[in-house]
Amino acid sequence: MSQQSQQEEATEVSASAAAAAAPAAGIEPILEAKGLSLGQIVRKRFFGHTGALAGLIVFAVIFVLAFSSEGWGPIPGWWQYQHDQVTPLVNEGVPTWTLPFSFGDHPFGQDRIGRDLFAMTMRGAQQSIIIMIIIGVVAGLIGVVVGALAGYFRGWVEAVLMRLTDIIIIIPVLLLAAVMSQTAGRRDSGSWFGQFAASNGVVVLGIFLGLVAWVGLARLVRGEFLSLREREFVDAARISGASNARIIFKHILPNAVGVVIVNGTLLMSSAILLETALSYLGVGVKAPDTSLGLLISQNQEAFSTRPWLFWWPGLFIVLICLCINFIGDGLRDAFDPRQKKFNAKKAKKGTRSGHGSAVVAGGAAAPALEVGGGVSPVSGYVPDSEAFGGAPHAGDDTTGRND
């Protein structure tokens, strides 16, 4: 064997050893996840997401402030005014909140008849959050079940469920909401629905909107199931004797949890906007109760003369929607088993500190090639994410095993 051939063979051996021994720059091995349960890993990833943590803190503050200030049910609140209480106008209803930290009796101001805007805004935030939660739960459950059944069984099951989905999509939500609002408004009609809706209008509105808002989530879950049902871990579970229900909810659904969580949180944030639009048009929450959308509708004419009556409810709508979206993004990153943690600063530092070349036999330095977005000595080949401690792909996930 010639000296040149021996040198080339030594170069290949050295390159293979270097690629196997050193992880690509910027991809951090998740060695700290070793020995942790799934719940601990999810919590660690979620609380490491800055946007999700900030959204969770802000939403928790809004939630506690809204439900503690006005009270809920038999639990009284600490704020001195109720949302429907009329008091004498103070300084023509101008907000008494002045810097530094001087709130006064009416920090958000008063409307034209003397009701405290802070109390009304907190009551509206309560109603919006309750509707959001009800819509998220009802629409999420229906959408996941319908999409999972249609994507897994295919055939006539898929045809029936998807045609039902198409029918609900084309029905105008505003028209149905108007009909429901008129029916619920007939307190003396004697119907059980009218009597129940008269005293539980927010719950009825949330359930109704949840029954028509699941169609988008169902179609997305169906598409995810169509892809995952062909994977090897599903075949292994089926051969081992697992039932269809176990395969759907124990093996496939955990691998589709990222899609479900992201679209579920988007559904909840859009639910607030939908409730706002319905209340703005007069077919949502009605007086003497109030909501954020109803406050904007009632005070739109005072936008140029008393802008605080419009801006405070609008600000809380924007904050709640942004917080829910940030929380959903953090949950998606925490639950998704295919997520890789990439640090651009360490990648740049590692490339500058000597990862751009590898010392091979004979003292020669071979440049690194960039292939597939990762850099490794000599060959530029980045092995599979499992070599660096990353999470396995969906087909290799442990959820595909039959317990």
Task: For residue 155, give the CATH number of its domain.
Answer: 1.10.3720.10
Given 284, 302, 335, the domain boundary residue is 335
**Do 381 and 313 belong to one domain?**
no
User: In the block, which residue shows the tokens 């124990």?
Assistant: 250
Is 11 a member of any domain?
no
Query: Which stretch, 166-170, 283-287, 356-360, has highest mean pLDDT?
Result: 166-170
The total number of structural domains that make up the chain: 2
Q: Return the ∠ at Cα 225 (arms to 271 and 335), rounded to 5°.
A: 65
pLDDT band at 2 (very low <50, low <70, confident <90, very high): low
Given 312, 335, 358, the domain boundary residue is 335
Q: What three-state secondary structure class fits 399?
A: helix
Is 365 a member of any domain?
yes
Is 308 a member of any domain?
yes
Is 183 a member of any domain?
yes
**Do 210 and 359 belong to one domain?**
no
**Do 269 and 190 belong to one domain?**
yes
**Do 170 and 110 belong to one domain?**
yes
As a whole number of angstroms, the distance between CA 379 and CA 266 comes to: 43
Residues sharing a CB contact under 8 Å with residue 139, sequence separation 6 or more, in sequence order: 209, 210, 211, 213, 214, 217, 267, 271
Q: Is the pLDDT of residue 374 over 70?
A: no
**Do 177 and 217 belong to one domain?**
yes
Alpha-helical (H) ranges within 71-191 are: 117-153, 155-170, 173-184
Mean pLDDT, the chain, whole residue set: 74
CB of 392 within 8 A of CB of 373? no
**Do 110 and 218 belong to one domain?**
yes
Residue % of the chain over a pLDDT of 70: 67
User: Is pLDDT larger for residue 10 or for residue 213?
Assistant: 213
Closest CA to 284 of 176, 368, 377: 176
DSSP assignment letter at 375: E
pLDDT band at 36 (very low <50, low <70, confident <90, very high): confident
Is 9 a member of any domain?
no
User: Is pLDDT larger for residue 352 or for residue 336?
Assistant: 336
As a whole number of angstroms, the distance between CA 56 and CA 40 comes to: 18
Q: What three-state secondary structure class fits 94?
A: coil
Closest CA to 157 of 68, 229, 237: 229
Q: What three-state secondary structure class fits 72?
A: strand
- 268-277 mean pLDDT: 82
**Do 268 and 309 belong to one domain?**
yes
Given 335, 365, 388, the domain boundary residue is 335
pLDDT at 368: 43
**Do 212 and 360 belong to one domain?**
no
283-294 tens-digit pLDDT: 777 777 788 888
Q: Is the pLDDT of residue 384 over 50?
A: no
**Do 256 and 351 belong to one domain?**
no
**Do 241 and 352 belong to one domain?**
no
**Do 272 and 376 belong to one domain?**
no
Q: What three-state secondary structure class fits 289?
A: coil
Is 341 a member of any domain?
no
Domain that holds residue 366: 346-396
Take residue 77 and report the two structure tokens written for it: 């609140």
Closest CA to 394 of 244, 264, 260, 258: 258
pLDDT at 198: 58
Is 26 a member of any domain?
no
Is 209 a member of any domain?
yes
Q: Is the pLDDT of residue 136 over 70?
A: yes
Closest CA to 390 of 345, 330, 348, 336: 336
Task: Please tell me the pTM assigned to this model.
Answer: 0.71
As a whole number of angstroms, the distance between CA 248 and CA 250 comes to: 6
**Do 226 and 198 belong to one domain?**
yes
Closest CA to 293 of 126, 177, 133, 124: 124
Backbone dihedral region for residue 211 (phi beyond 0: left; psi -120 to 50: alpha; all else: beta): alpha
